[in-house]
Amino acid sequence: MLVGLCACNSTSPTIPPSMTMRPEETVTPPVEVTPTLSHLSTATFTPSPLACLSQPGQIESGSLELKPPLEFLVYLPPCYNEQADRHYQVLYLLHGQTYTDDQWVRLGAPTIADRLVISGEVLPFVMVFPDDRYWNLPAGELFGSRLLDNLIPYIDEHYRSLPDREHRAIGGLSRGGGWAIRLGLTRWDLFETIGLHSPAIFREDGRQLENWLEAIPPESWPRLWLDVGDHDQELGYDRQFDDLLTRHDIPHEWHLYAGEHDEVYWQTHVEEYLRWYAAGWETVRGNP
């Protein structure tokens, strides 16, 4: 049981004494033979790569007419418009407290995704960046339900998503990581993958975490990533959560890096995060 976990910018208690850390777990052209016939030309023809693969993806803005409105950004990978019959995995990335829906964009997520997709290192995927600017107002408490009940159905209806658990991921940093824990564990039926980057676990969720974990069928454990900086104010709480996962034999990746609770730290690791999310989709059965 985790007691008294805090959210985001609140003052953290003294970090527990150092402990023995487990080693990090990390996600770790054929020769062309040209047939020749004496009476035919030996010239070969290979299909040209799509011209759109030399162009970056697109970022669109949207707003749901709720009270107050829920704004969001959507990243569409290269060739999204040109490949009209293709459907995509979707990654929901949640920003930190006091920031807005453009935080992950500023940290470089679309630019890095473009490079990885264009180079063929990962399958193309869509990213959605919801806005949680009302964190300190009553609407902030409803962010989770607004995302689950309104935004996800909207994305599945208006974009060519693969609308199932196996092709949907959620991740967040700081307060966004707190939301990713709550939504990912309580609605594990919606998310195959959960990424937690310096998560600020909500105080009121601390006593619920163990119950949430025990309610997930073992065969349905999400892929789970947890990282934090060694000078992060949330380090003590995140270590407790890692210990809880370990006690319950829940597979997960735990990464302790050098750094603080700031954008310098997160920007340093964005590419690693995106590669990890994408690696899970590479193994999904029936992936296009």
**Integer Cα distance of 101 and 47 in angstroms:** 39
134-178: per-residue pLDDT in tens? 998 988 899 999 999 999 999 999 999 999 999 999 999 999 999
Measure Cα distances from 7 to 92, 137, 140, 148, 208 in Å: 20, 15, 13, 21, 15
Question: Are 239 and 19 within 8 A, CB to CB?
Answer: yes
The closest of 71, 94, 90 to 173, measured between CA atoms, is 94
58-71: per-residue pLDDT in tens? 999 999 999 999 99
**Region 208-226 average pLDDT:** 96
Any idea of the CA torsion for 179, 185, 190, 194, to the nearest 10 degrees?
70
Reduced to 3 states (helix: H, G, I; strand: E, B; else coil), residue 110 is: helix
Predicted pLDDT at 20: 34
Tell the residue number behind the tokens 């609308």, with chain if given.
163
The number of angstroms, rounded, from the C-alpha of 103 to the middle of its chain's C-alpha atoms is 14
**Integer Cα distance of 69 and 192 in angstroms:** 28
Predicted pLDDT at 49: 62
**Region 75-104 average pLDDT:** 97
Quick one: tokens of 214? 């025990």
Task: Report which secondary-structure segment, H or E, holds 115.
Answer: helix 109-118
pTM over 0.85: no
Reduced to 3 states (helix: H, G, I; strand: E, B; else coil), residue 188 is: coil
Position 282 confidence tier, pLDDT thresholds 50, 70, 90: confident
Note the residue count of the chain.
Answer: 288
pLDDT, averaged across the chain? 86
**Integer Cα distance of 123 and 288 in angstroms:** 9
> Which has the minimum average pLDDT: 23-37, 38-52, 60-74, 141-155?
23-37
Task: Report which secondary-structure segment, H or E, holds 145.
Answer: helix 143-146
Question: Which architecture does CATH list for 54-282?
Answer: 3-Layer(aba) Sandwich (3.40)
